[in-house]
A and B are shown apart, each in its own frame.
Chain A
């Protein structure tokens, strides 16, 4: 009788520990990756369509993302670059008027980041472009997306798969430093 009680008590303690650990583990996970993987296509302040620009109009990625080939970051274009075309093209549309307001007020457009790496991972765009790994291999067929959606996992195993396939460096200090 006494033994049964002890067993029940121990089982209860084990269960409670397991539940607590599980909850905290998940909490830790959520806080560790704040821009959680759930929203792969967040709403943007301006309904910019990559399908229209890169797809139908055939504007090259690097026309707007200008530093991709020469720098670590691909570069989000400033309002001036948007305006250099839209001063003349479709300037009377409501969406473009929204865009012009940012220019008049002298504010940058608060784009919402879609592809976010942790702060301890470094991805040099220029090395990948120059090695022949083009935009679509990680970013998917952006030219068919109205609102950009993240199609890749962007986790370390996903990086390493490709690095192994292409015999690129898998030394820790290549990406973490």
Chain B
């Protein structure tokens, strides 16, 4: 899928995260873990930096004590249009969909971990060991997506199972996808409403309008990876 083709597609999924609204509560992290069958790895592996989170909260301090303020950045896969993880995969497990998503096909992945090493956002996590689901955690596994096994790379999918469901529902009703059809788990649970997901190819969508804000910026923009996640920051009044 080249750039011109994806520009003409009916859908280009994107996300807007308002950092002025984010309180750093971490509800999105928990919601993602529950929705996407993301395993918990335990204390030892966590201390070795092998914790598995598809979205994490980065914390920064602003100012000097006592005039100090914490700022948070929820960091997930940026679904770059020019993704560094894609060309390095030897088995095409990491690929670009026609809808601007950065796909990861678990059953193709052979676990070279090249993609994660090439990701400037460290958004990808690897199953170093067979994930365990002790009772009663196994009962809350979602049947809508794969339970990954050892040796497989995984990452945020923008809740592809919800995107599929939203598109299927819309198709059965014979209409295009609307804003409210697809809400990823992190956006659904965000109490201050900092996360907005939507179709960037639709000028009427809320995400599209928010993405035109003066407060917009994208992470590591100088790398030219063209992320689909747009952050808003700058304080003051919202200009939505």
- Of the A-B pairs whose beta carbons lie under 8 Å apart in the complex, a sample of 12, sorted by A's number, is A119-B146, A122-B144, A122-B164, A126-B168, A126-B172, A171-B97, A172-B97, A173-B97, A173-B160, A176-B106, A177-B161, A177-B164
**CB within 8 Å for A127 and B171 given contacts A174-B164, A177-B160, A177-B161:** yes
Residue contact A172 to B95, C-beta cutoff 8 Å? yes
A44 at interface (Cβ–Cβ under 8 A)? no
Q: Which residue of A lies closest to B92 (CB)?
A: A172
Interface residues on A, range: 10 to 19
Instruction: Please encode chain A, from 144 to 177, with 1 for each CB lying within 8 Å of some chain B CB and 0 for all others.
Output: 0000000000000000000000000001111011
A-B pairs with lowest CB-CB distance, top 6: A120-B107, A120-B146, A177-B160, A172-B105, A173-B103, A177-B145
Let me know if A171 and B146 touch, CB within 8 A. no
Interface residues of B (CB under 8 A from A): 95, 97-98, 101, 103, 105-108, 144-147, 157, 160-161, 164, 168, 171-172
Q: Which residues of A contact B147 (CB under 8 A)?
A: 119
Chain A interface main SS type = loop
A55 close to B (CB within 8 Å): no
A126-B168, A127-B171 as given contacts; A176 in contact with B97, CB under 8 Å: no
Residue A140 interfacial (CB < 8 Å):
no
| Docked pose: A27 CA to B101 CA in angstroms | 36
Which chain A residues (96-141) contact chain B, with CB distance < 8 Å? Answer: 118-120, 122, 124, 126-127, 130
